[in-house]
Structures are given as structure tokens and as C-alpha cells.
Structure 1
């Protein structure tokens, strides 16, 4: 019975997670009606390059165990907020897009290898990813945007998304069957492949490739 409840809870959480990820056109239609908070909350979910590393970060944290993973739940949204605040006072660094995609590939590779990271290394990765994504979301604001509401929305959705994805990954790994870590590692390899491909395109567009 306990196992059945756990599986049902995992399935329900996964369904809720996917329900939080609307299509691009629908998201932009909704955010024009519901204000700058909802605009900030929906904005990162319409960017594939942000959603992928958020998922990969949650899975990587789950591989470290719940005691270590819980620190990501605290560090990541705080870094998102800090990155958004920095976008208000600093010009966009030219390396930000490449660095963001490189972090996608790095996080995916870490998941694929099922790396056991020290807490400090995991936090550096979570904070770096949060700062870059927070900055990119903050830079998307226009002159009429309420900055506090928009960045609050980004921070709240970052916390909710990573917390839910992490909980699903931990519950999934706790289930019976040695195939479960392998399945998540395979997903990590796909994230890494996408990150490497997009990174190559970024470098080629800059004349580096």
C-alpha cells in the first residue's frame, strides 16, 4: 500500500509539473493579462534553455541524497533573485549566453555520469546557474515592467519548479528497481547533448567555431 501511494504521489507530482509548463504562445497570452508577477513567473518556463538545466540541476541534486539536495532549494532561488537584481545595475556581460549554455552541458554531463559532488561544488553550480538565469530574465524586462513583481515571479517559480522536480526525482530514485538511476542518467545525457549542440551553434555564430 505504501509503495502504491508513493507511486501515485509521484505520478501526480509529475502531472502537476508538466501542467506548470505551458506552450510559448499560451504563456505570453496569459502573462499580458495577469500582471508583471505572472509575467515573471511564466517567462523562464517559455525558454527551453532555462527549463532544461533547472530539471538537470534537480536530478543532479537528487543523486546527492536529500540531506545535500535540500541546500539547492535554498541557494537556487536566492541566486535567481540576486541575478535579477544585478541586471538592474550592470550591463549584460558578453559571455553570459555562452556561459549559460555551457552550464546546461556541464550539468547534463554530471547527471549522465551520476557524479557525487561535494556540497560546495553543487552549490557553486546552483548559484552560477541561478545568477545567469536570473540576469537573463531581468534583462528581458521593459521600461513599463514593475521590476519587483517581475523578479518576485521569477524567484517564486524557480523555487517551486526546482523543489517539485527535486521531490519527484528523489521519490523516483527511492522506488524499487535498479533501472531508475539509469533512466535519469540517460535523460542527463540528452540534456548534455542538447547543451553541447547549442553551445556549438553559439560559438559558430560568434565566429569561434
Structure 2
């Protein structure tokens, strides 16, 4: 009888924060992690900044989230499909810079990071639904970009500095080899885009 009374008097549960419209913030923060291009490009950009050192890389902390915010409204102009070749080209370029252990000037590093962020911001913006709160989505996307760039850059700096034996250390070689793999993935993606 007690169970019947509880079931009869039960109201609809409002247990999810989506009802408070904060779901769009979390959707913006988690959406990039569902796309391989976001994961690879964001990680590669953070690694490139980390290999150049903290003094150059710290400029990306404000530049990358700003680029995501600039690119987000461009999603409906370009669409996700039109950014595929740009993704592949940026992946190839960043991978080659990592593989060559190139010493990129700070201004060029910021321009590369800003371009990656605008491209990926546009790709994420193309997936927005009309009912999505764009301000909350943008805030989540910018926070995710800030976190990924900062953590990847810091981990790369620590990885390369820990007991480094100079340019021929296994750590520097590992970063360069990973850059080669990133460039290869970019080359494959570009050839797939051009073939279709």
C-alpha cells in the first residue's frame, strides 16, 4: 500500500542539469572529443607549442580559445565537410614541423594555432542545432580548448625536459616520430578528401 501511494504521488524528476540549460555548456565542452580531427589537431598544436618551450607556448593559452570562438559562428557558412581538407592540410603541416623539430617563431606559432582553432571552431559550429544555446556551447568549447592546449603543452614541456640528453635523446626522437605519424594521417586524410 505504501509503494502504491508513493507511485501515485510521484512527480516528474528534474534530475538532469540539461533542464537548467547547462547541458549546452557540457555539450560544447565534450563535443570536440567526439571528433578525431579535433583530438588530433588540438593535441598536435599543443605538442608543437610544448616542443618550442613554455615562453613561446604560453601565447597559445589565450589565442587558441579565441580562435575557437571566432570560428564557431562560421560553421553555418562553411559547414563541417568543407573544413576536411583544411584539417588535413593543417595536420600535415603541424606534423611535419614536429617531425623536423623546427624552431617556429612565436608569431607563426600563434598564427598556426589561431588557424587551427578557427577551422575546428567552424566545424563544431556546423553541428549546432537551432535550439542550442550558442553562448553556453561557445563557453564550453573555449574551456575545453583552453584545457587541452594548456595540458598538452605542459606535458610535452615536462616530457622533453625530463633527463634530456640533448637533441638525440629518445624523448626528442619520440616526439619527432609522433609528428611523422600526425603528418602521415594528414596526408591520408587529404588524399581521401581529394579522391571523393
CA distance in 2, matches of 1:76, 1:198: 23
Q: Determine whether 1:65 maps to 2:56.
A: no
CA distances 1:2-60 after superposition (whole Å, capped 9, x unpaired): xxxxxxxxxxxxxxxxxxxxxxxxxxxx9979611111111111111111111111111
Select which of 168, 191, 197 maps to 2:188.
Answer: 197
Counterparts of residues 102-181 of structure 1 (less than 5 Å): 102-177=89-164, 178-181=169-172
Larger Rg computed on CA atoms: 2
State the partner residue of 2:173: 182
Aligned pair count?
A: 175
* Partner SS state of residue 109, structure 1: helix
Could you tell me whether the CA contact under 8 Å between 2:52 and 2:104 is conserved in 1? yes
Q: What is the aligned-residue RMSD (CA, Å)?
A: 2.0
CA distance in 2, matches of 1:32, 1:140: 18
Please report the TM-score for the alignment, with normalisation by the length of structure 1.
0.78
Please report the TM-score for the alignment, with normalisation by the length of structure 2.
0.83
CA distances 1:66-117 after superposition (whole Å, capped 9, x unpaired): 11110011111110011113336x4549742211221011111111111101
CA distance in 2, matches of 1:155, 1:133: 11
Query: Taking structure 1 as reference, are residues 91 and 191 closer, same or farther at Cα in structure 2, changes over 3 Å only?
Result: closer
CA distance in 2, matches of 1:169, 1:31: 35
Select which of 45, 58, 66 maps to 2:33.
Answer: 45
CA distance in 2, matches of 1:117, 1:49: 23
Query: Taking structure 1 as reference, are residues 93 and 158 closer, same or farther at Cα in structure 2, changes over 3 Å only?
Result: closer
Could you tell me whether the CA contact under 8 Å between 1:58 and 1:162 is conserved in 2? yes
Structure 2, unpaired ranges of 5+: 1-15
Query: Taking structure 1 as reference, are residues 101 and 145 closer, same or farther at Cα in structure 2, changes over 3 Å only?
Result: same
